[in-house]
């Protein structure tokens, strides 16, 4: 009887937790002993440590990444009557955060080779009402810091980074979260730095922005029972979550390097498949790319369509994903913004091509080889080629 193949998960969180199980238990026990469950010691320590690691002056822990965007933009003075540029091919949380700040989102198309916001298209979308740009450091790669700063300086724009997928990513010698006035991070469990629940953080270089965000996250109170911000809400990073994140932070660079190594191996093995329509997203950041996701394009030249390839991988016990199948401007909930199909052709085309392959720091090269071999087998089958003329050897 043939032994079933071992599952290659899309993300394996158990691996990293196994590495630090005893330390994690001790950290959680320490919080339980102190009883400082809300805005406790571990929150303050994480805020300082993550800000320092990212090159920012201040950190403010909040309930989730979406809140980091919404509260952070408000703290930066962005609100009703202001237009904010963002890529159409981001996760919907970016859009929701902008809407919650009261600002008007203005979508921009992306670069098809990197999936990052097209800064030339962003410049063309600027109007007298444009106050800010929210570059999304998508899949673990930063938008060009020099390009962003040049655009912002030409048009007096505030840069507010969406770095939810880019913990400690670097480009041009700059770390994600340190480019503009502020940046938002998510600590959703599958992120490069992930909690065991939800959480987020605002990073900023401005003391006033940090102070205002601290007030907004805590019912608009600058101190207990003294409320100065009518838009205040309850969005406080749990101390238990902060304790786990603080424990993981010293391992993050090593884990990011492991992701990058797996990505390089994928790149090398996939090189011979480019002419058959499977093209990895371009890395313009070298080892600064932290590969929250490893994404390839399944183009029209491929003998298999994306759905068929996903099914073929599933048959080989390999999970995959699509990030993201519907651009924000085509989501039913936001049709009132007035956009329609055809407005952002690169984003729309990418949404039909992209496929995310398994990626996590504990992944082995052997597992990566299995993924590529399974793709090759599916390609050969899809092209209906004899074994003697395969498009890629699976040996």
Rg (CA), the chain: 22
3-state secondary structure of 323: coil
Which residues participate in catalysis according to the annotation? 191
Which of these, 194, 196, 193, 216, lies nearest to 204 by C-alpha position?
A: 216
Beta strand 174-175 with 170-171 is: antiparallel
Q: Which of 289, 316, 288 is nearest to 376 (CA)?
A: 316
SS3 3: coil
Rounded CA-CA distance 349/344 in Å is 9
Residue 227 forms beta bridges with which residues? 221
Strand partners, 86: 107
Distance, C-alpha 317 to centroid of its chain: 25
Structure tokens at 193: 């730095």
d(CA 172, CA 114): 16
Look up residue 114 and give its two tokens: 């990197």
| DSSP tag of 77 | T
Residue environment code for 214-224, b if the CB has 16+ CB neighbours within 10 A, otherwise e? bbbbbebbeee
Q: Is the peptide bond before 324 cis (omega within 30 degrees of 0)?
A: yes
Which one, of 60, 133, 66, 143, lies nearest residue 99 by Cα? 66
C-alpha distances (whole Å) from 316 to each of 31, 102, 311, 374 are 43, 47, 9, 7
Q: Work out the number of other CB atoms within 10 angstroms of the CB of residue 111.
A: 20
Distance in angstroms (rounded) separating the CA atoms of residues 50 and 219: 24
């Amino acid at each position: 009887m043939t032994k079933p193949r071992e599952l290659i998960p899309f993300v394996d969180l158990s691996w990293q937790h196994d590495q630090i199980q005893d330390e994690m238990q001790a950290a959680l026990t320490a919080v339980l002993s102190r009883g400082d469950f809300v805005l406790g010691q571990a929150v303050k320590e994480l805020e300082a440590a993550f800000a320092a690691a990212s090159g920012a002056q201040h950190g403010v822990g909040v309930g989730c990444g979406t809140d980091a965007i919404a509260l952070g933009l408000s703290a930066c003075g962005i609100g009703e009557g202001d237009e904010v540029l963002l890529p159409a091919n981001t996760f919907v949380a970016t859009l929701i955060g902008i809407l919650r700040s009261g600002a008007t989102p203005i979508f921009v198309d992306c670069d098809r080779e990197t999936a990052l916001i097209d800064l030339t298209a962003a410049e063309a979308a600027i109007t007298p009402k444009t106050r800010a740009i929210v570059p999304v450091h998508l899949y673990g790669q930063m938008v060009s810091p020099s390009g962003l700063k040049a655009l912002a300086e030409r048009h007096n724009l505030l840069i507010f980074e969406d770095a939810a997928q880019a913990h400690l990513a670097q480009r041009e010698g700059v770390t994600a979260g340190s480019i503009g006035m502020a940046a938002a991070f998510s600590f959703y469990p599958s992120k490069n730095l992930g909690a065991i629940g939800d959480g987020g953080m605002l990073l900023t270089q401005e003391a006033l922005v940090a102070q205002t965000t601290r007030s907004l996250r805590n019912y608009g109170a600058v101190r207990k029972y003294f409320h100065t911000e009518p838009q205040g809400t309850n969005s406080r990073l749990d101390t238990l979550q902060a304790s786990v994140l603080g424990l993981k932070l010293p391992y993050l660079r090593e884990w990011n390097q492991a992701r990058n190594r797996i990505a390089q191996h994928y790149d090398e093995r996939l090189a011979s498949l480019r002419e058959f329509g499977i093209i990895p997203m371009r890395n313009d950041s070298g080892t600064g790319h932290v590969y929250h996701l490893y994404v390839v394009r399944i183009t029209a030249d491929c003998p298999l369509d994306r759905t068929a390839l996903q099914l073929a991988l599933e048959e080989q016990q390999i999970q995959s994903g699509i990030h993201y199948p519907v651009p924000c401007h085509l989501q039913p909930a936001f049709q009132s913004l007035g956009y329609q199909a055809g407005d952002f052709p690169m984003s729309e085309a990418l949404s039909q091509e992209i496929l995310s392959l398994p990626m996590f720091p504990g992944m082995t090269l052997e597992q990566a080889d299995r993924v590529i071999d399974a793709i090759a087998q599916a390609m050969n089958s899809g092209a209906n080629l004899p074994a003697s003329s395969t498009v890629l050897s699976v040996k």
